[in-house]
Amino acid sequence: MTNKKKYFTILEVTVALAILAMGLTGLMSLTASSKKRAVSGYDNWLHQHILAQAAEFYLLTGNEEAIPENIFPYENYSVSCNILEIDDLPEEMETTIGDWQIIAYKITLFDETNDEIDSITVEKIIKQAPSSL
């Protein structure tokens, strides 16, 4: 009876290491792209959250007040609100009926370098102040 020990050849070890390296490379690539997508998703969510918060403020108070810091605690961001003409209404509709008027607020989000990041347009019906005689 011969006692032969069976060992792996250098070729088998090399092939196994190559397969392991390819698997690890794929896993690291997947992890890196997942992290990038998660960060991008968080940034998009944050921008939409900030815009929604600013829209709520401007819809309640009008576009002339600045947002207080306790309501808008984002140091690296700023917002502006402008009134736009509404031009996509059907021709038979008017933007002013009696004391009521439909307006559109364009709320724009800026970063610390004052570059526009995103914007939202919200339409609102307001009661105009009566004109003085």
pLDDT averaged over the chain? 87
Position 130 scores a pLDDT of 59
Identify the CA nearest to 59 among candidates 117, 109, 118, 103.
Answer: 103
> How many Å apart are CA 10 and CA 91, to the nearest integer?
81
pLDDT bin (cut points 50, 70, 90) of residue 1 is low
Query: What mean pLDDT comes out for the span 3-24?
Result: 90
pLDDT at res. 18: 96
CA distance 64 to 1: 98
29-77 pLDDT tens trace: 999 999 999 999 999 999 999 999 999 999 888 888 888 888 888 989 9
For residue 84, how many C-alpha atoms fall within 13 Å in the half-sphere facing its CB? 16
Q: Check residue 23 and give its pLDDT.
A: 95
Domain boundaries, the chain: 11-127
pLDDT of 104-124, one tens digit each?
899 999 999 999 999 999 988
Measured over all CA atoms, what is the biggest interatomic distance in the chain, rounded to whole angstroms? 121
Is residue 133 very low, low, confident or very high in pLDDT (cuts 50, 70, 90)?
A: very low
